Amino acid sequence: MTALETDLLIIGAGPAGLSAALSAAQGGAAVLLADLGPGPGGQIWRGAKASDGGESGTLLRGVQRQPNITALYGAQVALSERGPQGGHAVQFSTPQGPRRVLAQKIILASGATERFLPFPGWTLPGVVGAGGLQAMVKSGLDVRGARVLVAGSGPLLLAVAAGMRAAGAEVVGVAEQASPTRLLGFGLAAQRGGKVGEAAKLLWALRGVPYWPATYPVEASGGERLTQVELGGLTRRTLECDWLAAGFGLVPDTRLAALFGCALEGGAVKVGAWQQTSQPGIYAAGELTGIGGVDKARLEGSMAGYTATGQVERLRDLPTQLEQARHFQASLSRSFALRPSLRTLPAAGTLICRCEDVPHAALQACPSWTEAKLQTRCGMGTCQGRVCGPAAETLYGWTFTGVRPPLLPLPLADLLGE
């Protein structure tokens, strides 16, 4: 396997990774930008093009104009080790087979995944993530005329509901588990954060759509796929729908950082003032350092790109701007904290681990993740705890500790480097 050599490897091509690539390349560094998806944009800018208007288009045009940025799409990290001349050797799995990259420095920008919470019926086809349904529609799923119920928690729900309406779906309602008081607190913080225009646009797009605070799905049912959802909490009702788009907030995707041995704190990658992780030469930027949205991700990406390439003179007022973005981050996690009653949603037989079909009752009997794995194989199936890990954290208070190489199932030939 011949290796690609680069000064800086950036893993993740969402807002943070793209900002990092542009900042680093401005100083002349050779940058390799890798992403699991088929193109740039990450989740929030999925399918974005350089010809688009707005900040995603501007950033993509900037990245495209830099001759020293190379992109590698469809590439997921499988393994990493020390490089032969210092730095890091990272093995990617791609549809064209394994690729090896030698990099002096690395910026991790792996973003976040959605937290799914189990309730009876959540494994039926038609029950999907909130960001999940948004991603599917952006990738070509046709929802024209389909009835969509959006549920879970966080500002993402409104964006998803507006996106579904724009795609021609009938949004039957939005159920947000947070209480009206908490939502009011978030509204005020958003106002202080200068997000009034954004909010007004969303509310206008969603006029006529019912919004139920302190409400959550208690059961999904149907035959071969979803036909009906029962809501509980403040608003109790049963609704007919074709899709339930349910996401209970975002979780920093720290797997990659754990593979590189970076220290974590409070479920996120621990970084210093210049986005450096606990590992020399490895930086982290964006949602994996704490959920805070696009602005924080872009600022952290720029910061990491400049500092990883020694361009400290370009930082200017970035630290001040970042501090403001982090205030918004703190109000996000306060306002959309998950209510304890969500832990009572699974019935004894509700599956928590979808890969190994492990029910709630079997896990309730376990004192820890380690014991749960030994006794039930929870988190040991194909997804390696990516779905049940964050769920078990909420339900049982367990911290997921199962990251080991390779990060994804690999053909034996890839492992042997043939």
Partner 1 sequence: MPELVLTVEGQPLRVPAGISVLAALQGAAHWSLRRSLSGQRRGALCGMGTCFECRARVDGVLVRTCLIPVQPGMTVELLE
Residues that bind partner 1 (CB under 8 A): 36-38, 43, 74, 76, 95, 113-114, 116, 123-129, 131-136, 139-142, 224-225, 351, 354-357, 382-383, 386-387
Question: In the bound complex, what is the minimum distance in angstroms from residue 93's beta carbon to partner 1?
Answer: 11
Give the integer Cα–Cα distance in Å for 399 and 266. Answer: 10
Based on CB atoms, which residue is closest to partner 1, 176 or 414?
414
Question: In the bound complex, what is the minimum distance in angstroms from residue 111's beta carbon to partner 1?
Answer: 9
Name the residue among 5, 75, 69 with its Cα closest to residue 34.
75
Based on CB atoms, which residue is closest to partner 1, 183 or 410?
410
Given a contact cutoff of 8 angstroms between Cβ atoms, the answer to whether 245 and 148 are in contact is: yes
Give the integer Cα–Cα distance in Å for 326 and 332. Answer: 10
Question: In the bound complex, what is the minimum distance in angstroms from residue 358's beta carbon to partner 1?
Answer: 9
Based on CB atoms, which residue is closest to partner 1, 95 or 280?
95
DSSP 86: B
Given a contact cutoff of 8 angstroms between Cβ atoms, the answer to whether 13 and 37 are in contact is: yes
Amino acid identity of residue 24, one-letter, is A
Question: In the bound complex, what is the minimum distance in angstroms from residue 135's beta carbon to partner 1?
Answer: 3
Based on CB atoms, which residue is closest to partner 1, 131 or 173?
131
Greatest C-alpha distance within the chain? 63
- The SS3 of residue 21 is helix
CA angle 222, 142, 50 (to 5 degrees): 140
Given the DSSP bridges, would you call strands 3-11 and 97-108 parallel, antiparallel or unpaired?
A: parallel
Based on CB atoms, which residue is closest to partner 1, 366 or 387?
387
Question: What backbone phi and psi angles, to 5 degrees, belong to 356?
Answer: -110, 5
Based on CB atoms, which residue is closest to partner 1, 146 or 206?
146
Structure tokens at 68: 């020293």
Question: In the bound complex, what is the minimum distance in angstroms from residue 394's beta carbon to partner 1?
Answer: 16
Strand-pair partners of 230: 219, 238
Question: In the bound complex, what is the minimum distance in angstroms from residue 76's beta carbon to partner 1?
Answer: 8
Provide the Cα torsion 141, 142, 145, 151; round to 10°. Answer: 20
Give the integer Cα–Cα distance in Å for 414 and 418. Answer: 6
Based on CB atoms, which residue is closest to partner 1, 142 or 323?
142
Based on CB atoms, which residue is closest to partner 1, 30 or 407?
407
**Residue given tokens 């990658």 in the structure block:** 269
Provide the Cα torsion 124, 126, 127, 132; round to 10°. Answer: 140
Give the integer Cα–Cα distance in Å for 401 and 95. Answer: 28
Question: In the bound complex, what is the minimum distance in angstroms from residue 64's beta carbon to partner 1?
Answer: 19
Question: In the bound complex, what is the minimum distance in angstroms from residue 225's beta carbon to partner 1?
Answer: 5
- The SS3 of residue 395 is helix
Question: In the bound complex, what is the minimum distance in angstroms from residue 136's beta carbon to partner 1?
Answer: 4
Based on CB atoms, which residue is closest to partner 1, 272 or 409?
409
Strand-pair partners of 107: 10, 283
